Amino acid sequence: MKQKKLLGLFFMIACLNSGAINASEHHSGHGGSGGGGGSTPGTCEKARLSKFLPPHLTAVVPEAEFSFLVFNIDKPEQVSVTVKNIPIDFTAEFKDPFYLIKGKLPASLVNTAARINIKVSAKSNHCEAEDGWLLKIADK
């Protein structure tokens, strides 16, 4: 009789443990972050921006060239660049695993400070990126 009770107890414990393990596997992605539970078609890797040149707060001349790197994008059309709300044309060169983006400051910006604003669009809002840096533009 004791053997049947003991066997029944082991069986119940095994069932409860397997249910807890199963639940933890299937609910691991229910956090606020995008890092759990495996990858699905809706997940993304956020774009990363780096190597801003000339460096932050550098004094430059009008129409000075600038550049930066963008990682984790499919195409350069996802990138937009503005300086004081002026859209900037740029070139993009793919250098696996990143794009090298190059542009020029507007000629109209003289004797001022201006922030180069970068926005990277994506299908989902939580995958978009935004960054930039400030330059001091001298007289001609």
Per the document, the length of the chain is 140
Q: In CATH, what number is assigned to the domain containing residue 65?
A: 2.60.40.10
Q: Tell me if 79 is assigned to some domain.
A: yes
* Residue 109 pLDDT > 90: yes
Residue 32 lies in a domain: no
Distances from the Cα of 36 to the Cα of 24, 29, 39, 48, 132, angstroms: 11, 4, 8, 20, 30
DSSP per-residue letters across 89-103:
-EEEEEETTEEEEEE
Q: What is the pTM of this model?
A: 0.69
Of the candidates 59, 47, 52, which has an alpha carbon nearest to the alpha carbon of residue 133? Answer: 52
> Domain tally for the chain?
1
pLDDT at 19 over 70: no
Domain hosting 79: range is 48-137
Confirm whether 5 is domain-assigned. Answer: no
Report the 10 Å Cβ neighbour count for 62: 17
Percent with pLDDT over 70 in the chain: 70
Q: Is residue 31 part of a domain?
A: no
pLDDT tens-digit profile of 52-83? 999 999 999 999 999 999 999 999 999 999 99
